């Protein structure tokens, strides 16, 4: 109940005539019984099991549903799930809304699809970053980052206050949701600032791979931690794969004049890990940072063919000129595409838009073969 509504109720209560008629008393009792039952229903799952109340987050940019072409979308950190069950493409992005399309050309949205308990650590109005949708063992999962700006978990001297931000996993019966947290158990230490979680499976073991934020570490790191078989909890300790400065192409943020929330902070960014294998079986990872031409898409390859690496960084980024945070998916007609967001240098600052590139995975490395225009 809003404060204004509560005050209104108090005012109305003070204004009620104490000499009520019997009919009025019966009516009041009936209304109390009705609202008591309604309140109980709000805290029941659709299967009838009791649980805490959930709120559907409207997301940034949520509003009237519309149908627009791909080149009119404005989406940061786009992730596309090609869902075989519905023969539909689902696109998510930072902000917490979802778009869907039958053909990659025409998109319908934005839709709200994330439900949380707003009394949890996530807070009543969390920021939602880089959500990913994964179909895994018959269920749909959303790996996303929640930021609760009202809680400070760490202070880095002469740098910044680190606010509460963590990767969490949600579950749904359908690709379009709604997605709810599997539980409130934390996957990663509360005092860590983590983001951009993704799913990777190796020899039947699922892993959460994520960024340990450069805002906290200064030299950002990509780490991994094993998960339980049902993805409901982490199962071990986190291990670092590499840091942003390990690759030759990223640039230190202060050296290239980049401002973060208006501040010239030093450090190396790691963003958006995503895994793939070439047709020769080579294990690769997409990840992003900042280069001479602003945001860029990089690639690293595991020398062991396993998650543990070691990881060999490519000398040059796969794509640059303010484009990155990529992921790969296969279209329903078998085409391999790289999805990322871009922001033309001439329009910086400006809206981030999704872009699709055709790729070739037939050899030992990932190669971009051209722009894909749906």
Q: In this structure, how many other beta carbons lie within 10 angstroms of the beta carbon of residue 142?
A: 27
Which pLDDT score, from 0 to 100, does residue 348 have? 67
pLDDT > 90: percent of the chain:
78
* Distant-in-sequence, close-in-space partners of 50: CB < 8 Å, separation ≥ 6: 43, 44
Mean pLDDT of the residues in the chain: 87
> What angle is formed at CA 123 by the lines to CA 117 and CA 124, rounded to 5 degrees?
75
Query: Does position 28 have pLDDT exceeding 60, yes or no?
Result: no
Q: What are phi and psi of 320, to 5 degrees?
A: -135, -150
Which pLDDT score, from 0 to 100, does residue 62 have? 65
Contact between 168 and 180 under an 8 Å Cβ cutoff? The reply is: no
Domains of the chain: 66-371 (2.115.10.20)
Which pLDDT score, from 0 to 100, does residue 15 have? 31
Q: Collapse the DSSP code of 39 into the 3-class scheme (helix H, G, I; strand E, B; otherwise coil) and give the result.
A: helix
Query: Which residues partner with 202 through β-bridges?
Result: 205
Which pLDDT score, from 0 to 100, does residue 61 have? 66
Query: Does position 19 have pLDDT exceeding 50, yes or no?
Result: no
Work out the average pLDDT over 181-200.
96
User: Could you tell me the pLDDT band of residue 179, with boundaries at 50, 70 and 90?
Assistant: very high
**Poorest-confidence range of 11-15, 115-119, 310-314, 364-368?**
11-15
pLDDT tens column, 197-212: 999 999 999 999 999 9
Contact between 242 and 192 under an 8 Å Cβ cutoff? The reply is: no
Query: Does position 182 have pLDDT exceeding 50, yes or no?
Result: yes
Query: Which residues partner with 66 through β-bridges?
Result: 109
Which pLDDT score, from 0 to 100, does residue 43 have? 30
pLDDT tens column, 133-165: 999 999 999 999 999 999 999 999 888 899 999
User: Could you tell me the pLDDT band of residue 52, with boundaries at 50, 70 and 90?
Assistant: low
> What does 223-260 look like in DSSP terms, one character per residue?
EEEEB-TTSSSB-S--EEEEEGGGSSS---TGGGT--B
């Amino acid at each position: 109940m809003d404060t204004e509504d509560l005050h209104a109720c108090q005012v109305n209560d003070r204004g009620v005539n104490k000499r009520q008629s019997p009919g009025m008393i019966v009516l009041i009792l009936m209304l109390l019984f009705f609202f008591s039952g309604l309140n109980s229903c709000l805290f029941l799952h659709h299967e009838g099991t009791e649980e805490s109340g959930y709120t559907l987050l409207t997301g940034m940019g949520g509003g009237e549903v519309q149908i627009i072409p791909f080149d009119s979308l404005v989406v940061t950190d786009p992730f596309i799930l090609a869902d075989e069950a519905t023969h539909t493409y689902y696109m998510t992005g930072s902000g917490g809304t979802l778009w869907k399309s039958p053909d990659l050309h025409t998109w319908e949205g934005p839709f709200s699809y994330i439900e949380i308990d707003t009394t949890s650590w996530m807070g009543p109005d969390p920021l939602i970053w880089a959500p990913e949708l994964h179909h895994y063992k018959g269920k749909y999962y959303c790996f996303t980052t929640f930021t609760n700006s009202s809680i400070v978990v760490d202070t880095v001297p002469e740098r910044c206050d680190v606010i509460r931000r963590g990767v969490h996993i949600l579950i749904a019966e359908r690709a379009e949701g709604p997605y709810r947290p599997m539980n409130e158990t934390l996957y990663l230490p509360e005092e860590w600032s983590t983001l951009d979680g993704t799913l990777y499976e190796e020899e039947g073991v699922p892993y959460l791979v994520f960024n340990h934020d450069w805002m906290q570490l200064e030299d950002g790191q990509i780490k991994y931690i094993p998960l339980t078989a049902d993805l409901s909890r982490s199962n071990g300790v986190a291990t670092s794969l590499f840091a942003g400065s390990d690759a030759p192409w990223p640039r230190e943020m202060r050296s290239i004049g980049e401002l973060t929330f208006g501040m010239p902070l030093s450090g190396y960014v790691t963003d958006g890990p995503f895994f793939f294998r070439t047709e020769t079986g080579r294990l690769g990872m997409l990840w992003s940072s900042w280069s001479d031409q602003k945001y860029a898409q990089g690639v690293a390859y595991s020398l062991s063919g396993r998650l543990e690496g070691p990881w060999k960084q490519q000398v040059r980024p796969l794509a640059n000129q303010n484009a990155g945070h990529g992921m790969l998916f296969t279209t329903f007609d078998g085409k391999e595409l790289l999805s990322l967001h871009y922001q033309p240098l001439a329009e910086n600052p400006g809206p981030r838009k999704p872009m699709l590139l055709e790729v070739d995975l037939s050899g030992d490395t990932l190669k971009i073969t051209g722009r894909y225009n749906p």
